[in-house]
Amino acid sequence: MSETIDATPVDLIRVAKEVGFEGIEAKRKDSLYEPGLKYRINKGQEFVIGGYFPDNPFDSIIVGYYQDGKLLYAAKVRNGFAPHTRREVAARLKGLQIDTCPFANLPERKRTQWALTREEMKNCVWVKPELVAQIDFGEWTPDGHLRHSRFVALRDDKNPHEVIRES
């Protein structure tokens, strides 16, 4: 049971971001809790697309960031693609295919739900790391992966080599 707080939603969200909360939940004082009332506070930044898992036209994109001149894997991003957006991204990926993985830290040895292993990499299509995507996410995992990632948009205003992990 938490205390009743008399504050505006804007103030609550600002404080939750400052403290680093995942989100906030709200309900009337005299009502029961109902699922779906949570307001998630996501982080977001740009990432470089280095590959994808094929489907019709693709299942998910594989993204990363540069550190010390090397492209490092961060996540497989499956969410956030409306049909028209998926077609747009697929069209931009066409013609960028390459034979080798552009990520310096793949394959990963440790198997987690966010990892990309040698076995999974057999199904990947690699692309020249030329496209930048804006990605929202819940948090970074201890292993350096994105949790709850979601595609937002392509970014034509960013040089891929300037995309780094933001703090």
Q: How far is CA 1 from CA 17, 32, 33, 39, 147, in A?
A: 21, 12, 11, 18, 28
3-state helix, strand, coil in the chain (%, to 5): 15, 35, 45
Q: Check pLDDT > 70 for residue 133.
A: yes
Helix (H) or strand (E) holding 66: strand 58-67
Residue 37 has a pLDDT of 66
Task: Give the pLDDT band (50/70/90) at residue 89.
Answer: very high
CATH of domain 43-162: 2.40.50.140
Predicted pLDDT of residue 39: 64
Residue 79 DSSP code: B
- Would you kindly state where each structural domain of the chain is located, as residue ranges? 9-40, 43-162
Q: For residue 41, what pLDDT is reported?
A: 66
The alpha-helical segments, DSSP class H, found in the chain are 9-19, 83-93, 118-121
Instruction: Give the lowest-confidence range in 26-30, 111-115, 122-126, 163-167.
Output: 26-30
Q: What is the model's pTM?
A: 0.81
What is the tens place of the pLDDT at every residue in 21-37?
766 776 677 777 777 66
